[in-house]
Amino acid sequence: MVTKAKEKTNVWQMAQGQLDQVAEIMNLDPNIHRILRKPARELTVNFPVIMDDGRVEVFTGHRVQHSTHRGPGKGGIRYHPDVDLDEVRALAMWMTWKTAVVGIPYGGAKGGVVVDPKKLSMRELERLTRRYATEINIIIGPEKDIPAPDVYTNPQVMSWIMDTISMDRGYTVSGVVTGKPLALGGSLGRNEATAQGCIYVIQEAVQKIGLDLEDSVSVVQGFGNAGYIAAYLLKEQGSKVIAVSDSKGGIINEKGLDAHAVSKYKAETGSVVGFPGSEPISNEALLELKCDILVPAALENVITRDNASKIKAKIIAEAANGPTTPEADAILTENNIMILPDILANAGGVTVSYFEWVQDLANFFWSLGQVNERLSCIMKESFHSVYEIHKKYNVNMRLAAYVLAVGRVAEALKLRGIYP
């Protein structure tokens, strides 16, 4: 895992703090503010899994639904040793804002299991997944809450969840999770969607600051689904990607890296580190490289008050959730760095998840062209809505995205009223 910077921020306090800040700016109704400060529903489960050697281990997992005011809960499931309830709460709240920024009819939710999946066999991973799915079965479903992949989960994990829930219901329930393989009702373009959405937003942003992507230099931190694909899509757009990293460290080559070749090397060796023709660089130093576009695509809390003033990028496109702390935000804004906030920049993933769910419910599937055209439309429109607020109210892009998102959720909440 990517080492977190020195400053240890509690991400849940950070997420609540962001809401508080925007509530003040937009004069949010205090009743609505109080409601949105808390997750609506939290489920913590401790469950046993039989390991391959016959031992029984007990794992802890969570599923948090922050809001279902605009539609069912939606958000990924993370398998990571650092997962805790506060992190899942923050990630769930950010999903509420994310689905609202891009205007798709969902609330926000998130799940997580405290586990290092790299230490499990495939069979152990499957048993853990099926048991966790069974434990959270009571609160998920196509109309209730729809999980998806997140850090260290993937289409295979989604297949097991889909199958487990289907076994319980007695029929195939494709729409209970998204990010499934194509053979099980997945969507074309879902695998690339987070990175692709990020690229669509970057394409709009560079125009605003007079930067030519063809002439640009990029750096990507994290080499999972979002980071790897962002790196090769950036290269396809003509940007020179000089450095990438994973949890074990980073690599740099000033002449540019071929993400496909790096990915092949990582598949063989377990890390990008040691890629032929590259020099090693730490994750911390990588963030401070001179570049035009910096894409944090790993975990939370990597751009903090300790390193924010050393960031030299012109644009930070947050493919990760919560990579920048509020203290860092203030410094970056002061230094005129354009932040493309997570709830906008990485919303492509959940947007194509929405397309997948729609296709599953309709049993009618779209071409890749249709998926990407609709994704491009939503991402670009959302960028411009956020940019307009940024200009009109002279707030940074993150606050602008929050104003848009919180406004939409607040409107839904107000219209629905408070039951009973």
How crowded is residue 312: how many other Cβ atoms within 10 Å of its Cβ?
14
Q: Could you say whether residue 349 binds ligand GLU (CB under 6 A)?
A: yes
Binding positions for ligand GLU, 260-279, rule CB under 6 A = none
Which residue bears the tokens 């940007």? 239
Q: Which is nearer to ligand GLU, 148 or 233 (CB)?
A: 148
Rule CB under 6 A: is residue 323 a binding residue for ligand GLU? no
Q: 75 or 250, CB closer to ligand GLU?
A: 75
Nearest-approach distance from CB 178 to ligand GLU, in angstroms: 5
Q: Would you count residue 88 as binding ligand GLU (CB under 6 A)?
A: no
Of 18, 174, 178, 187, the residue at the interface with ligand GLU (CB under 6 A) is 178
Instruction: State in angstroms the smallest separation of the CB of 98 from ligand GLU.
Output: 6
- Which residues touch 332 (CB under 8 Å, ≥6 apart)? 303, 308, 311, 316, 324, 339, 396
Task: Exactly one of 74, 98, 110, 180 is catalytic; name it.
Answer: 110
Name which position in 67, 218, 253, 353 contacts ligand GLU (CB under 6 A). Answer: 353
Q: Which residue, 186 or 250, has its beta carbon nearer to ligand GLU? A: 186
| Number of neighbouring beta carbons within 10 Å of residue 43 | 15
Token output for 164: 């487990």
Alpha helical stretches, state H, 303-367: 326-334, 342-345, 348-362
- State the CB neighbour count (10 A cutoff) for residue 210: 7
Q: Respond yes or no: is residue 290 known to be catalytic.
A: no
Helix (H, G, I), strand (E, B) or coil at 308: helix
State CA 215 to chain mean position distance: 28
Q: How many residues bind ligand GLU (CB under 6 A)?
A: 13
Tell me whether strands 73-80 and 108-114 are parallel, antiparallel or unpaired: parallel
Residue (150 or 360) nearer to ligand GLU, CB: 150
Member of 304, 321, 325, 385 binding ligand GLU (CB under 6 A): 321
At residue 267's C-alpha, the angle toward residues 129 and 299, to 5°, is 60
Fill in the per-residue mask, 202 to 241: x = in contact with ligand GLU (CB under 6 A), - = not in contact.
----------------------------------------
Among 21-29, 227-235, 323-331, 346-354, the segment contacting ligand GLU (CB under 6 A): 346-354
Closest CA to 86 of 5, 172, 8, 175: 8
Least distance between ligand GLU and beta carbon 358 (Å) = 13
**Burial tier of 248 (Cβ tally within 10 Å: 0-12, 13-18, 19+):** middle
Q: Would you put residue 293 in left (φ > 0), alpha (ψ -120 to 50) or beta?
A: beta
346 near ligand GLU, judged by CB under 6 A? yes
Q: Which helix (H) or strand (E) holds 380?
A: helix 368-393
Decide if residue 341 touches ligand GLU (CB under 6 A).
Answer: no
Applying the rule CB under 6 A, the residues between 20 and 79 that interact with ligand GLU are: 74-76
Q: Which CB, 76 or 189, lies closer to ligand GLU?
A: 76
Q: How far apart are CA 143 and CA 166, in angstroms?
A: 15
Which pair of structure tokens corresponds to residue 73? 């809960």
Q: Per the structure block, which two tokens stand in for 310?
A: 């050393």
Beta strands 56-67 and 41-50, pairing class: antiparallel
N residues, the chain: 420
Interaction of residue 150 with ligand GLU, rule CB under 6 A: yes
CB of 40 to ligand GLU, least distance (A): 17
Considering the complex, state which of residue 74 and residue 130 has its C-beta at the smaller distance from ligand GLU.
74
When the beta carbons of 1 and 25 are compared against ligand GLU, the nearer one is: 1
Is 185 among the residues that bind ligand GLU (CB under 6 A)? no
Interacting residues toward ligand GLU by CB under 6 A: 74-76, 98, 148, 150, 178-179, 321, 346, 349-350, 353
Q: Which residues are the active-site residues?
A: 110
